[in-house]
Structure 1
């Protein structure tokens, strides 16, 4: 069972998609990433090291690209 899962599916313009990625990139010098999630904003601390996975699938008339960024949490459940 997951401690927390948030999933959002919606259509973005190219500019909106770039804004989401830019919000994550803002944390490159430390601090929090703050991507907009519909009417709200999520603040997420991005650590110095991440595990990444990039997957590209072509089929059913679509090209799908997934970018996963994973980081550990402390055993107490608090962010490291």
Structure 2
């Protein structure tokens, strides 16, 4: 079971998509606490120094799907722990 899941599907203009990605890039660049405006609400989360990433491109049925996924633990590992 997931602790939290947020999913949003909507149509955006190229400019709106670029603004959303730019806000995410700023959050990743600066680390610490990040806030992203997503439609009518704001998503707040912590961004660590190290994270894992996965990029997936799928072409089917006349559409291109690009997924960029970032993963990191919800809490920092204790010093000396094997992670």
* TM-score, normalised by the number of residues in structure 2: 0.81
Give the Å deviation of 1:14. 0.5
Report how many aligned residue pairs link the two structures. 75
> Which protein has the larger Cα radius of gyration, Structure 1 or Structure 2?
2
For residues 70 and 42 of structure 1, what CA distance do their matches in structure 2 show?
Answer: 16
Pairing 1:39–2:34 present? no
**Where do residues 1-80 of structure 1 align in structure 2 (5 Å cutoff)?**
1-27=1-27, 28-74=29-75
Q: Which consecutive residues of structure 1, in runs of 5 or more, have no partner in the other structure?
A: 76-80
Gaps of 5+ in 2: 77-83
Distance in 1 separating the partners of 2:39 and 2:57: 25
Between Structure 1 and Structure 2, the one with more strand by share is: 2
Q: TM-score, length-normalised on structure 1? A: 0.84
